[in-house]
Amino acid sequence: MATVIRIAIDCMGGDEGIPVTVPAAFAFAQRYADTHLLLVGLPEEIEQAVSVCAKRYPDVSSDRYSIVAATEVVTMDDPVEVALRRKKDSSMRVAAQAVKDGRADACISAGNTGAWMAISRYVLKTLFGIDRPAIASALPNQKGGTTTMLDLGANVDCTAEHLLQFAIMGTALAQAGDVNHSPSVGLLNIGEEVIKGNDIVKQAAELLRQSTLNFYGNVEGNDIFKGTVDVVVCDGFVGNVALKSAEGVARMMSVMVREEFSRNIFTKLLGLIAMPVLAKFRRRVDNRQYNGAALLGLRGVVIKSHGAADAVAFGCALERAREAVQTGLLKRTAEAIAKLTNSQVEAVSSTQSGDSE
Amino acid sequence: MATVIRIAIDCMGGDEGIPVTVPAAFAFAQRYADTHLLLVGLPEEIEQAVSVCAKRYPDVSSDRYSIVAATEVVTMDDPVEVALRRKKDSSMRVAAQAVKDGRADACISAGNTGAWMAISRYVLKTLFGIDRPAIASALPNQKGGTTTMLDLGANVDCTAEHLLQFAIMGTALAQAGDVNHSPSVGLLNIGEEVIKGNDIVKQAAELLRQSTLNFYGNVEGNDIFKGTVDVVVCDGFVGNVALKSAEGVARMMSVMVREEFSRNIFTKLLGLIAMPVLAKFRRRVDNRQYNGAALLGLRGVVIKSHGAADAVAFGCALERAREAVQTGLLKRTAEAIAKLTNSQVEAVSSTQSGDSE
C-alpha cells in the first residue's frame, strides 16, 4: 500500500508564519516519505523559504510538495466576519478548499482559531448529523498515555445532544483506527459539591447511558490527567478553561523547578549534574508534542496548530493530520454518527408507533 | 489588644475525623496564643483524643479549649437533606450554631462540602444583598503570591449579578484587612476561540466595569497561576473544574519528577544528592498550605477544609479562619456589599426619576 497522504498547509498562519511552517513542512516530509505537501500562501515568500529548505533537506525532492498561491492572509486579530467574507482568497480558505476539491486529504493552520473554524466549516460543511464541530486534543496523563478531550473552545453553550455528538466524535478520534477498541468516555462534572452538575450535564449523562458508547460516567477535572477515561467530554467554555488552567499550572511548576535549581552556586551545580534527568522531565512535560487539535465534525480532516508553535510543535501538528487520514478518522466518525442517527430515528419512530420492537 | 479569637471546630468531619482535627487543633493552639478552640463532636471520643494531645502539647492549658457536645455526625455521603433535616444535633450544626450564638467567631469543618454549605447557610443566613454564598480559595501563582478564586463549586448556574457579588466578596477576602489595597479582579473567560464567552460572562463584564471594583477585564485559565490578577471570578462549575484540572496536572508532574529520579541507580543517586532542592520544590507545590476555603457571603466566618486533609493541612485551614476573623473579613464584606446595593438603588432611582445627578 503506497497511498500518498496529501496535506494542505496554511503557511501564513501562526505567530511566525513561513519561518516556522515551511521548515516544519520539510522536516516532516523527510520523516514521512508517504506524504505530499501543498504549501499554501503568498507564493514569492514561500518560494524564498522553500529554496533555503530544499538545500537543508536534500532528501525531499521537489515532487514531494507544491506551492499553491493565495493572495490574502488572515491575521491573528481579524474578526471572523472579515476572514470569512472579505478575504476570500486567504491562505486558510485556499487550504480548506483544497480538501473540499479532493486535492488534499487534510488541511492545517496555526492561524486565528475562530477564523479557521469558521472558514473550514463554511468551505467543508459539517458531517450529516453533526450540529456543531468541536475542537479536540490529546492531553498527556499520569498513566503515560493520552486523554482525548473536547470541546476545547468552539462552543460556549452546548445542549445535551451536542455533548453526545462530541462523545461520538471523540470516541472515533481516540480509537485511532482500531475499531475493536472501545474508548471509555467520561462526562466532565463537579464532584462532591453542593449540586452535582447542571441540567444539561445531567441530561447528557442520560443520553450517554442510553447510547452504545463505552460510557464510564461523570469524571472530575483531575481525572483528565489521571487517565481515568480515554475521552473527556464537556462544553467549550469549561474545556477551554480547564485546558488553560492546566497549562498555567504546568508552566508555574516548570518555573519553580528551574528556580529551585538556580537559587545559589550549590543548587546550580546540582542542576548541572541532574541535567539529564531534568531534561527528560522537561521533554515529558513539553507540550509541543501534544500540539495539533482536530476540528471534528467537518467533511474533511482539519487540524489547528497552536499559534505560538515553533517548527517542532508544528511538525507534531502535521503528524496529527497524517494520523487522522491514515486511520480513516473521517469515515469512522461519519459511520458512528450515522449509526447514532439511525438508532435515534428508530427510537423515535418506535415510540411514535407504540411498537417497542 | 488581647482579643481572643474563638474558633468552633467540627472535630468529626473529614476522612479521618478526630485523629486529624484534634491534634491539629492543639498544634494550632500552641502556635497562636490568642485563640480559644471549641472542640465540637461526640464528647467521649474527643475527650480521649484531648487527653493524649494535652500531654503532647503541655503549653496548651485547659482554659484554651472547651469540648462542646454534639450527638450526631454528618457522613461524607449523607445527602444534603439528611444532614440538614434529620441530623439536627450534628457536630456541623452545633459548630455553626456556636457562631450564630456569638460563642465563636468562626467555624470550620472538613466534612461533606454540600452539607456544610447547606447547614452553615441555614443557621447563619446570607449577608444582606448576597443571593448565594460562594466558595473561595487562595491558589499559588508564579509570582510567588496567591490568586483568590471563586466560586469553586457552590453554584453551578450563576447570573451576571451573582458573578458581581462574587467579585465583591473575593475583593474583601483578598484585601486581607488592608482596606487601602484594591485587589485587581479578573473575569474568567475563554480566549482567542470562536466566541468569546457566553452572554452571562459578557453581562458580568459590563456590571464589573460599572462597579467601583478594580476590574482588570477578562482573564484565561492560565492567568490564575500566572498571577495576572488578585481575584479570579467564575461560576462554580467552571471554577471547580479549573481547580481540579490544575490539581490533576500538579500531581501528574510531581509523579513525573519522582519517576525520572527513580529510573535507575544513577538517577536515584542524583535524586539523593538533589534531595534538599527537590524537597524545597515539593514544599512549594505542597497544596496542604493552601488548604482552607472560605464560604463567603454568610453572616459568620465559615471555613471548609479539604476532606482528605492531614493535621498539617487542617492546621492551615485553621489559620485561614483566624486570619479572616483578625482582618474583619465579615464586616468588610458586609460594608462592600452595602455600598454596592446603595449605589445600585441610587442608580435605579436616578434612572427612574430621570435625574442623572
**What ipTM was reported for this prediction?**
0.84
Question: Quick check: A240 and B142 CB within 8 A?
Answer: no
β-strands A134-140, A146-150: how paired? antiparallel
Contacts of residue A263 in chain B, CB cutoff 8 Å?
Answer: 277, 280
The rounded percent of chain B whose pLDDT value lies above 70 is 93
| Residue B250 touches partner A, C-beta closer than 8 Å | yes
B344 three-state secondary structure: helix
Q: Using the structure block, give the residue that is written with the C-alpha cell 447511558.
A: A209
Q: What is the pLDDT of residue B350?
A: 52
Question: Quick check: B114 and A244 CB within 8 A?
Answer: no
Buried-state track B71-87, b at ≥16 Cβ within 10 A, e below 16:
ebbbeeebebeebbeeb
What is the C-alpha to C-alpha distance for residues B279 and A293, in angstroms, rounded to an integer? 36
Q: Using the structure block, give the residue that is written with the C-alpha cell 450526631.
A: B72
A323 three-state secondary structure: helix
What is the C-alpha to C-alpha distance for residues A100 and A306, in angstroms, rounded to an integer? 23
Q: What is the pLDDT of residue B288?
A: 83
Where does chain A hold its CATH 3.40.718.10 domain(s)?
Answer: 1-125+298-326, 134-290
Question: Quick check: A245 and B240 CB within 8 A?
Answer: no
Of residues B194, B222, B225, nearest to A114 (C-beta): B194
Question: Quick check: B252 and A220 CB within 8 A?
Answer: no
Q: How far is B335 from chain A (nearest CA, A)?
A: 27
pLDDT digits (tens, 9 = 90+) for A10-58: 999 999 999 999 999 999 999 999 999 999 999 999 999 999 999 999 9
Contacts of residue A240 in chain B, CB cutoff 8 Å?
Answer: 190-191, 193, 220-221
> By the 8 A CB rule, do B235 and B198 touch?
no
Where does chain B hold its CATH 3.40.718.10 domain(s)?
Answer: 1-125+298-326, 131-290
Q: Most B CBs within 10 Å: which of A198, A199, A252, as the mutation test of the B interface?
A: A252
Q: How far is B287 from chain A (nearest CA, A)?
A: 12
Q: Which chain B residue has the Cα nearest residue A270? A: B274
Q: What is the number of residues in chain A?
A: 357
Report the CATH architecture of B1-125+298-326. Answer: 3-Layer(aba) Sandwich (3.40)
pLDDT digits (tens, 9 = 90+) for B204-237: 999 999 998 999 999 999 999 999 999 999 999 9
Q: Which residues contact B158 (CB under 8 A, 6 or more apart)?
A: B132, B151, B166, B200, B235, B236
Find the helix or strand (DSSP H, E) in which B81 lies: helix B80-81
Q: Which of residues 7-36 of B touch A (CB under 8 A)?
A: none
Region B18-47 average pLDDT: 97
Q: Which of residues 45-64 of A touch B (CB under 8 A)?
A: none
Q: Could you tell me the three cell numbers for B88?
A: 439536627
In CATH terms, is domain A134-290 a member of 3.40.605.10?
no
Question: Quick check: B284 and A250 CB within 8 A?
Answer: no
Of residues B113, B156, B249, nearest to A198 (C-beta): B156
**A–B CB contacts, 8 A cutoff, strictly below:** 220
More confident residue, A201 or A270: A201
Contacts of residue B240 in chain A, CB cutoff 8 Å?
Answer: 190-191, 193, 220-221
Contacts of residue B257 in chain A, CB cutoff 8 Å?
Answer: 257, 281
Of A176, A254, A281, A170, which Cα lies nearest the Cα of A219?
A: A170
- pLDDT range class, residue B347, cuts 50, 70, 90: low
- pLDDT range class, residue B344, cuts 50, 70, 90: low
Question: Quick check: A252 and B192 CB within 8 A?
Answer: no
Q: What is the pLDDT of residue B260?
A: 83
Q: What is the pLDDT of residue B346?
A: 57
| Residue B296 touches partner A, C-beta closer than 8 Å | no
Question: Quick check: A154 and B193 CB within 8 A?
Answer: yes
Question: Quick check: B243 and A221 CB within 8 A?
Answer: yes
Is pLDDT above 50 for A113?
yes
Report the CATH architecture of B131-290. Answer: 3-Layer(aba) Sandwich (3.40)
- pLDDT range class, residue B284, cuts 50, 70, 90: confident
pLDDT digits (tens, 9 = 90+) for B157-178: 899 999 999 999 999 999 876 7
